[in-house]
Amino acid sequence: MNIEIERKYLLRNEDWRGLAEGVYYKQAYLNERGGNTVRVRIEGNKAKLTIKGKAKNISRVEIEYDIPMVDAEALFSLAKTPCVEKYRHKIPYKGNVWEVDEFLGENKGLVVAEIELKSEEQAFEKPDWIGEEVTHDK
């Protein structure tokens, strides 16, 4: 079992652009809001099924499996909400990796960064382009 510990931030400026190539993501949620999360996702040329528990502070159980692309495509038809599309840029910075998501479609214009941590108390440095924390803002 894996525990996901992450913090999310808005971006202060565009200085992150050009630091990493973006990978196209398409994802859909297969459950109703509230409770646990069941998500199907295509990341470039890979597909995954992810189950996440309810968050406790900034931690939650996360189980993720690679699945065949054809299964992922079939699961999109079961989505309870519209698909989310974005480009994810993975940017190494001082021993950590920041994931900057640039959303498309209904969420076009939204850009957020997240960092996954090994513990809730882990110290880390933020790049200058990281702005306000929005970890608890759904």
Q: What angle do CA 43, 36, 2 make, to 5 degrees?
A: 65
- DSSP assignment letter at 105: G
The whole-angstrom separation of Cα 3 and Cα 63 is: 8
Token reading at 13 = 């400026």
What is the end-to-end Cα distance of the chain in Å, rounded? 24
Find all residues with CB under 8 Å of 121, minimum gap 6, and list them.
none
Active site residue 87: no
Catalytic residue among 24, 25, 29, 65: 29
Catalytically annotated residues: 29
